[in-house]
């Protein structure tokens, strides 16, 4: 999708909501993880829709959820909505695009090759296809049984645009709709008529994500297979030209937005970090296009936050004094609404570290916690094995532990390992990229934490912290691969890795 990756899209209809108003429905669905809302309300007057839309827009904006208006461009413009969805009997797509400008999202319902082609050439951002199955939520003009999965798959092949499937979709059939090629699922009754709307949204979204990740992992394996057949020289050429194309589309979109914003206003990233890797963290921050500050005095740090965009707390060489500064600075950052990225280096290795981290986690609101498998397992209350600050041992349940911790602390958890995991407690992105040389250089974990802080410090509309974190982790790993194609010894690799980050941010 143009502005972010949508999985689940709620279309409102108060009359189909069992006596609940659409504000209550939308709030509960947002709590359950929906990505977009469409104001439909066919039986309300334009004035009523305007009033409801004003409230829904505020709720969506606060939650980072896309807000779309059905049928009426005038209403979408008046509400400053993120976009509009139009059918074949509404204003033509081309006129809509001219009225909206290029930034707003334009969704078009299309049922034939001709309608899809017209929508594409008018500049639509997605195609709505339905009804897939029979539905009681709308009188269908033709084919009361819905078009079915085969027709959906045929129409999907006719367009490069994301396809939003709608009509009769629910928990029991959503997997088949995703497998037939839908990129996003739009529903009315599956959520508006649910007993527990939040729970129904979570379940539907989880099913969508698990079905999508099954099919994308199949694609991913295929890519890896091709990868192995290439010689190192061929790989080097391909990587040089294609690194960014290798990012999944939604993450590539997110990176473009982050990169544009970074080049316009370099965010200042205040670090309270360890003295082993401080210099590398400063350099990596600078190479992404941000401004590193590594001041560690109590008064200086707190004052510095006035002009900072993100704060790194890395406990790698924690002591009584630095802990006090972290807690005080963290509280100030929370007051100022500055995102905090915490690296619980070696938690569990000593009682002191564990107590320090527990206090930071309890008293601060954290945007991201990034740790290795042992650190995250320990924070989630599970057994883990550490040698010094290194994670050793097997972690079969690490994804569950990370999800549980993210949900419990309402944060994003990033687990760095051979296969990285990023989760917000509902969504999970796994990244099996990177190179083993990352493990041969001290500090690449701390540098990942600083890099995450850079991305959290960039304010971008419509990209959640989850997508931003997933984008960064993916990109970081790809750039390491790119560096490793050229170099195969640790010291030069580190230099090349810095340069790749610098070049990619230009």
For tokens 């230099």, the residue is 495
Which of 4, 70, 104, 464 contacts ligand LCLJCK34 by CB under 6 A? 70
Which of 26, 69, 166, 197 contacts ligand LCLJCK34 by CB under 6 A? 166
Which of 22, 159, 189, 207 contacts ligand 3NM by CB under 6 A? 189
> Closest Cα to residue 135, out of 124, 126, 144?
144
Q: How far is the CB of 79 from ligand LCLJCK34 (least distance, A)?
A: 16
**38 is annotated as contributing to ligand binding:** yes
- Closer Cβ to ligand LCLJCK34, 16 or 341, answer by number: 16
**294 is annotated as contributing to ligand binding:** yes
**90 is annotated as contributing to ligand binding:** yes
Which of 104, 137, 416, 449 contacts ligand 3NM by CB under 6 A? 137
Which of 41, 71, 82, 115 contacts Mg ion by CB under 5 A? 71
For tokens 């977009």, the residue is 36
Tokens of 452: 């995450």
Q: Is 162 one of the binding residues for ligand LCLJCK34 (CB under 6 A)? A: no
Q: How far is the CB of 27 from Mg ion (least distance, A)?
A: 25
Tokens of 318: 């924690």
Q: How far is the CB of 168 from ligand 3NM (least distance, A)?
A: 5
Span interacting with ligand 3NM, options 59-67, 127-135, 319-327, 344-352, rule CB under 6 A: 127-135
Which runs of E-coded beta strand occur in 212-354? 268-272, 291-293, 310-314, 340-343
Q: Is 64 one of the binding residues for Mg ion (CB under 5 A)? A: no
**β-bridge pairing 420-423 and 412-416:** antiparallel
CB distance 7 to 208 below 8 Å: yes
**157 is annotated as contributing to ligand binding:** no
Which of ligand 3NM, Mg ion, ligand LCLJCK34, none lies near 169, with the C-beta cut-off 5 to 8 A by kind?
ligand 3NM
Q: How far is the CB of 112 from ligand 3NM (least distance, A)?
A: 13
Which of ligand LCLJCK34, Mg ion, ligand 3NM, none lies near 131, with the C-beta cut-off 5 to 8 A by kind?
ligand 3NM
Q: Is 169 one of the binding residues for ligand 3NM (CB under 6 A)? A: yes
Q: Is 168 one of the binding residues for ligand 3NM (CB under 6 A)? A: yes
Q: How far is the CB of 202 from ligand LCLJCK34 (least distance, A)?
A: 21
Q: Is 184 one of the binding residues for ligand 3NM (CB under 6 A)? A: no
Q: How far is the CB of 203 from ligand LCLJCK34 (least distance, A)?
A: 20
**Would you say how long the chain is, in residues?**
506
User: Using omega within 30 degrees of 0 as the cis cutoff, is the peptide bond preceding 273 cis?
Assistant: no
**42 is annotated as contributing to ligand binding:** yes
**443 is annotated as contributing to ligand binding:** yes
- 172 by DSSP, 3-state: which? coil
Q: Is 186 one of the binding residues for ligand LCLJCK34 (CB under 6 A)? A: yes
- CA atoms within 13 A of residue 139's CA, in its CB half-sphere: 2
- Using left for φ > 0, alpha for ψ between -120 and 50, and beta otherwise, residue 214 falls in alpha
**Cβ contacts of 254-261, under 8 Å, gap ≥ 24:** 254/4, 254/460, 254/463, 254/467, 254/468, 254/471, 255/471, 255/475, 257/460, 257/463, 258/455, 258/458, 258/460, 258/463, 258/468, 258/471, 259/289, 259/505, 261/458, 261/459, 261/460
Residue with nearest beta carbon to ligand LCLJCK34? 87
CB distance 89 to 71 below 8 Å: no
DSSP string, 176-236: HHHHTT-SEEEESHHHHT-SSHHHHHHHHHHHHHHHHHHHHHHHHHHHHHHHHHS-HHHHH
Which of 52, 164, 165, 166 contacts ligand 3NM by CB under 6 A? 166
- Closer Cβ to ligand 3NM, 137 or 500, answer by number: 137
Q: Verify whether residue 446 is a known catalytic residue.
A: yes
Number of residues that bind Mg ion (CB under 5 A): 3
Which of 31, 77, 87, 327 contacts Mg ion by CB under 5 A? 87
What track of x and - describes contact with ligand LCLJCK34 for positions 10 through 29 (by CB under 6 A)? Answer: -x------------------
Which residue among 60, 254, 281, 446 is the active-site one?
446
- 261 by DSSP, 3-state: which? helix
Q: Measured between alpha carbons, how far is residue 230 from residues 6, 20, 382, 438 in Å?
A: 34, 58, 41, 22
CB distance 500 to 484 below 8 Å: no
> Closest Cα to residue 495, out of 444, 436, 433?
444
Q: Is 205 one of the binding residues for ligand 3NM (CB under 6 A)? A: no
Q: Is 53 one of the binding residues for ligand LCLJCK34 (CB under 6 A)? A: no
**CA atoms of 481 and 88, how far apart (whole Å):** 47
Q: How far is the CB of 209 from ligand LCLJCK34 (least distance, A)?
A: 19
Q: Is 138 one of the binding residues for ligand 3NM (CB under 6 A)? A: yes
**CA atoms of 78 and 51, how far apart (whole Å):** 11
- Closer Cβ to ligand 3NM, 133 or 255, answer by number: 133
Site for ligand LCLJCK34 in 316-375 (CB under 6 A): none
- Binding-site positions for substrate read 294, 443
- Binding-site positions for Mg(2+) read 71, 90
- Binding-site positions for ATP read 370, 416
Q: Enumerate binding residues for Mg ion (CB under 5 A).
A: 71, 87, 90
Active centre residues (catalytic): 446
Q: Enumerate binding residues for ligand 3NM (CB under 6 A).
A: 11, 109, 128, 130-131, 135, 137-138, 166-169, 187-190
């Amino acid at each position: 999708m143009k502005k972010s990756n949508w999985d689940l899209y709620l279309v409102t209809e108060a009359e189909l909501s069992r006596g609940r108003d659409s504000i209550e429905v939308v709030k509960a669905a947002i709590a359950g993880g929906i990505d977009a809302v469409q104001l439909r309300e066919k039986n309300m007057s334009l004035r009523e829709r305007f009033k409801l839309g004003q409230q829904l827009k505020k709720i969506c904006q606060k939650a980072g959820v896309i807000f779309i208006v059905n049928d009426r461009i005038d209403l979408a413009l008046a509400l400053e909505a993120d976009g509009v969805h139009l059918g074949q009997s509404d204003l033509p797509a081309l006129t809509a695009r001219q009225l909206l400008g290029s930034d707003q999202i334009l969704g078009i319902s299309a049922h034939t090759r001709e309608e899809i082609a017209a929508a594409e050439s008018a500049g639509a951002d997605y195609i709505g296809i339905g009804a897939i199955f029979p539905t009681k939520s709308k009188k269908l003009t033709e084919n009361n049984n819905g078009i079915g999965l085969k027709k959906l798959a045929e129409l999907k092949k006719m367009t490069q645009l994301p396809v939003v499937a709608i009509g009769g979709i629910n928990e029991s059939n959503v997997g088949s709709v995703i497998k037939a090629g839908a990129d996003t699922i739009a529903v009315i009754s599956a959520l508006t008529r649910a007993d527990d709307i939040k729970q129904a949204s979570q379940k539907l979204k989880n099913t969508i994500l698990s079905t999508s990740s099954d099919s994308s992992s199949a694609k991913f394996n295929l890519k890896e297979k091709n990868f192995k057949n290439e010689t190192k020289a061929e790989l080097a050429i391909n990587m040089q030209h294609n690194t960014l194309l290798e990012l999944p589309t939604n993450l590539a979109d997110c990176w473009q937005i982050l990169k544009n914003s970074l080049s316009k206003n370099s965010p200042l990233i205040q670090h309270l970090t360890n003295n082993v890797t401080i210099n590398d963290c400063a350099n990596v921050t600078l190479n992404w296009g941000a401004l590193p500050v590594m001041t560690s005095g109590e008064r200086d740090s707190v004052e510095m936050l006035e002009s900072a965009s993100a704060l790194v707390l890395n406990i790698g060489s924690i002591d009584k004094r630095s802990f006090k500064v972290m807690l005080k600075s963290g509280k100030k950052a929370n007051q100022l609404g500055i995102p905090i990225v915490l690296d619980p280096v070696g938690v569990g290795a000593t009682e002191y570290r564990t107590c320090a981290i527990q206090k930071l986690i309890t008293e601060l609101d954290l945007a991201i916690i990034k740790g290795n498998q042992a650190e995250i397992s320990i924070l989630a209350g599970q057994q883990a094995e550490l040698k010094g600050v290194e994670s050793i041992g097997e972690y079969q349940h690490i994804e569950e532990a990370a999800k549980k911790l993210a949900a419990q602390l309402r944060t994003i958890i990033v687990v760095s390992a051979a296969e990285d995991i990023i989760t917000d407690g509902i969504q999970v992105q796994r990244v099996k990229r990177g190179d083993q040389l990352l493990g041969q250089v001290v500090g690449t974990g701390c540098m990942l934490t600083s890099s995450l802080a850079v991305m959290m410090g960039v304010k971008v509309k419509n990209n959640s912290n989850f997508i931003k974190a997933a984008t960064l982790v993916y990109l970081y790993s790809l750039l390491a691969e790119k560096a490793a194609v050229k170099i195969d010894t640790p010291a030069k690799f580190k230099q090349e890795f810095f340069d790749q980050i610098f070049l990619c941010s230009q």
